[in-house]
Amino acid sequence: MTALPLHLGAGLPGGAPPARLPGLRQELDVVEGPRARSGAPTWTLHDPVRNTYFRLGWVEFEILARWDAVTAEELADRVRAETRLDVEAGDVEALARALHGNHLVSAAAPGAWRLYAAERARRRAGPWSWLLHHYLFFKLPLLRPDAALTRLAPLARPLFTRTFAGIVLLAFCLGLYLAGRQWDVLAGRVAAMASPESLSWLMAAIVLAKCVHELGHAVVAKHLGIRVPNAGVAFVVFWPRLYTETTDAWRLTDRRQLLAIDAAGIAAELVLAVAALLLWSLMPDGPVRDAALMIATVSWASTLAVNLNPFMRFDGYYLLADAVGMPNLQPRAFAAAVQGLRRALFGMEDPAAEPLPGRVRAWMTAYAWAVWLYRLVLFTTIALVVYHFFIKLVGIGLFLVEIGWFVVRPVMRELRTWWRLRRRARLTRPGLLALAALGAGLAAIALPWHGRVDAPAVLRAGAFLRVFPAAPGRIAMLHVAEGARVAEGDPLVTLEAPEVDDQIAIAQARIAETQREIALSATEQASADRLGALTETLAASRRELALQQDLKARLVIRAGMAGEIRQLADHLTPGRWLSESDGIGLIVAPETWILQAYVAESDVAALREGAAARFHAAQADVPTLDAVVEEVERSDRHTLPDAVLAEPLGGPLPTRQKDGRYEPLTALYRVRLRAETPPDRWRRTIRGEVAIATEPRSLARRWWRAATAVLIRESGF
């Protein structure tokens, strides 16, 4: 529904009106409109050819009622003579320009044919312009429901009675009671709603809910006597949404009736949700029951979140516009905000601006800025979605179209207007502050003041060894302390095991006894078999002695590598028993710390080997470390070796997991650095950020490199 305000200053800027008043098009229709906020009467001018409505105030209506006058002076004289309005010829000329600008004058009027010819040429779009406009938004009418709605209107009358409202309220209470008795089942089904088996039914439920939504608008409009010429599907960046044409609602003079049409879709979905909740409580398990649960839970909540949003042209916008009595609210709010901005910055006053009370202008301006901010976020999000879901090269083009059309184009249009009106501008204090802020911002972007690259990094030990006992034993002596330097083979802890000493003594006694028996057998000339058995016994005893002595030697825990003792266990006190699983501590080679950073594609070209850097650990107890860049890889990483930096593990880098590995979502280049001073406290991995010194670069240069890198990468060059 669209109604444009047609006031005395709403015409084409500049230009002289015709000497004689132009004739109006014969098919135009004027009907009584709703009361304005001030209580003044309004009228609605209908253009049936374009199905467009224009809101007229008292002055405009009285002028149009006497449009058969020959000249503006004559018409102004008649209005002053026949009404209490003080109308001048300039007011009539301003309205004439407005009629010309909105194509409401007859083609036979002087100069009208040129205006219509220019408009036709402007609307005659080339193939690229046509594709651009229809890619962003187009409608596909599917139904002409007016005749069917007229026949069904008597059947729909019970829906507007208190009895039906009572039935809906009773059904809601009953459905809520029955659902509460099986709340656990309901919550479990909502969580499992997106299963592949139920997906088709869920999609059908969404389509049904949206059809009921649009049917609600159509039924209420027809109940109020409004024609519903068509209904169908509108596509916003190829995203479908149903629509119902109820533009004729601007014929209504009662604001409550307008609000009823605006809210009818939401009300219809809420009634459907009540019915679905009751049916879910009574139906057996299955996909149809899941679809009913979808309507009863998700569908109505989503429709409230979307349709009550006043920043997009959904039901919430029309509810707000009709509630405050401001038809065509957004364009009028935008005009008020733009005019306020021009006035604040350059002291420009537009005589064609719509006259509004101060408080109304203030909230409309605030609303306009809120809409612009919301649209900036929304359109940027849509552009990113289009970029990621289309073919690479096509996605880049569509991204640029989205940003250019919705963000850059309005800004450039306003800048061109400022340039055109520059002769009327004068500097104001807010304007000076804005220019100063703009200059500072441009300087911050263009000047090469930023000489540092910040990148996520990880510091980890390149060589370390965990120390464990080779065999269980009791601590006899501790040879080292925390932080001590040791060489390979140095004793760390000496253990004692009484059973090992006992086994050594037993083996030694057996060897001595066996040797005596062999010597005695030699003097007594014993048999060869006897000597052979004693020889085997002696060898076995010697093997057992060697085994026990080796085990005793292993009770002395020695350093397996040169380094420093770190994380020495607290329980290493003499007399304490240790098992093979009790850790002694770590031996760390402090000179083998590895520091690796991952730099974005836009920053890698600025890095040089030998550049100074500083590592800032995420842990507060790790001091800042000085480092030097040793190597900069010139090809991006397809996997992330240091998984601790991956976002799913708490790191800062966005990644996706594939085949047990983490793949970065953006191009990353690994940079190897050497830590000049290792940390005092050892940790296997320390996550943080490294700041690498570079030549000063401007932000504009960095952004340009990032943009070109994306274009080259995504286009496959």
pLDDT value for 150: 93
What's the average model confidence in pLDDT over 497-511?
79
Of 40-49, 59-68, 438-447, 500-509, the range with the highest mean pLDDT is 59-68
Q: What is the pLDDT of residue 135?
A: 59
- CA 333, CA 331: separation in Å to the nearest integer? 5
DSSP bridge pairs for 17: none
**What type of residue is 518?**
I
Quote the pLDDT of residue 430: 81
Q: Look at residue 597 and tell me whether its pLDDT is greater than 70.
A: yes
| Angle (nearest 5°) at CA 321 between 317 and 324 | 140
DSSP string, 152-206: HHHHHGGGGSHHHHHHHHHHHHHHHHHHHHTHHHHHHHHHTTT-HHHHHHHHHHH
Integer Cα distance of 409 and 31 in angstroms: 37
CA 637 – CA 328 distance, rounded (Å)? 53
Instruction: Decide: 92 and 80 in contact? Cβ < 8 Å.
Output: no
The token duo for 160 is 């507007």
Q: Measure the CA–CA gap between 218 and 149, rounded to whole angstroms.
A: 8
Residue 692: what are its φ and ψ, rounded to 5°? -105, 130
Question: What is the structure's pLDDT at 342?
Answer: 86
Helix axes 196-223, 146-156, angle to 10 degrees: 80
Q: Tokens for 220?
A: 């209420």
Contact call for residues 659 and 617 (beta carbons, < 8 A): no
DSSP string, 410-455: HHHHHHHHHHHTGGG----HHHHHHHHHHHHHHHHHHS--EEEEEE
Please give the angle made by the CA atoms of 659, 665 and 666, to the nearest 5 degrees: 140
Give the pLDDT confidence score for residue 586 in this predicted structure: 81
Count H helices, E strands: the chain? 21, 23
Q: To the nearest whole number, what is the mean pLDDT of the chain?
A: 80
What pLDDT digit, counting tens, does each position of 143-201 carry?
A: 999 999 999 999 999 999 999 999 999 999 998 888 888 887 777 776 666 666 667 77
Q: How far apart are CA 321 and CA 259, in angstroms?
A: 9
501 vs 240 pLDDT, higher one: 240
Distance (Å, whole) CA 630 – CA 193: 53
Confidence of residue 16 (pLDDT cuts 50, 70, 90): very low
Torsion of CA 317, 318, 324, 329, to 10 degrees: 70
Percent of the chain with pLDDT over 90: 13
Instruction: Judge whether 212 and 269 are in contact, CB under 8 Å.
Output: yes
Q: For residue 497, what are the CA distances in angstroms to 372, 545, 551, 574, 610?
A: 80, 15, 9, 13, 55
Which H or E run contains 717? none
- pLDDT at position 94: 84
For 653, which DSSP code?
B
| C-alpha span between 319 and 325 (Å, rounded) | 10
- What is the spatial order of strands in the sheet that 556-558 belongs to? 556-558, 491-496, 473-478, 577-578
CB neighbours (10 Å) of residue 144? 13
Contact between 269 and 216 (Cβ < 8 Å): yes
**Of the candidates 57, 65, 7, 11, the residue with the CA atom closest to the CA atom of residue 37:** 57
Cα distance between residue 536 and residue 540, in whole Å? 6
Give strand pairing partners of 458.
Answer: 596, 687
CB 172 within 8 Å of CB 274: yes
- Helical segments of 241-357, H only: 255-282, 287-294, 300-307, 315-323, 329-346
Q: What is the CATH number of domain 589-715?
A: 2.40.30
Q: In CATH, which of 3.40.640.10, 1.10.3720.10, 1.20.140.10, 2.40.50.100 is domain 466-586?
A: 2.40.50.100
At residue 43, the 3 state secondary structure works out as strand
Residue 575 has pLDDT above 80, yes or no: yes
* Phi, psi (rounded to 5 degrees) for 585: 160, -160
For every residue of 104-116, which 3-state class applies, written as one string? CECCCCCCHHHHH
Q: Is 495:476 a contact under the CB 8 Å cutoff?
A: yes
Task: Give the number of C-alpha atoms closer than 13 A to the C-alpha of residue 209, restricted to the C-beta side.
Answer: 30
The DSSP H or E segment spanning 3 is strand 3-5
Say how far apart CA 675 and CA 627 lie, in whole Å.
Answer: 4
505 vs 17 pLDDT, higher one: 505
Sign for the CA dihedral angle at 156, 161, 164, 165 comes to positive
- CB-CB contact of 629 with 611 (8 Å): yes
Cα separation, 227 vs 456, in Å, equals: 62
Residue 460: strand, helix, or coil: strand
**What is residue 17's predicted lDDT score, i.e. its pLDDT?**
47
Q: What confidence tier does 7 reach under pLDDT thresholds 50, 70, 90?
A: low
Contact status, residue 103 vs residue 48, Cβ threshold 8 Å: no
- Residue ranges of E strands in 16-166: 29-32, 43-47, 52-56, 137-143
Residue with the bigger pLDDT between 229 and 555: it is 229
pLDDT confidence of residue 11: 43
CB 645 within 8 A of CB 456: yes
Q: Which tokens is 705 given?
A: 């490199």
At 206 the pLDDT is 84
Nearest to 265 by CA among 310, 319, 225: 319
pTM over 0.75: no
Q: How confident is the model at residue 391 (pLDDT cuts 50, 70, 90)?
A: low
At residue 514's C-alpha, the angle toward residues 512 and 520, to 5°, is 105
**Domain range list for the chain:** 3-124, 128-323, 329-446, 466-586, 589-715
Residues in the chain: 717
- For tokens 């009300």, name the residue: 267
The SS3 of residue 608 is coil
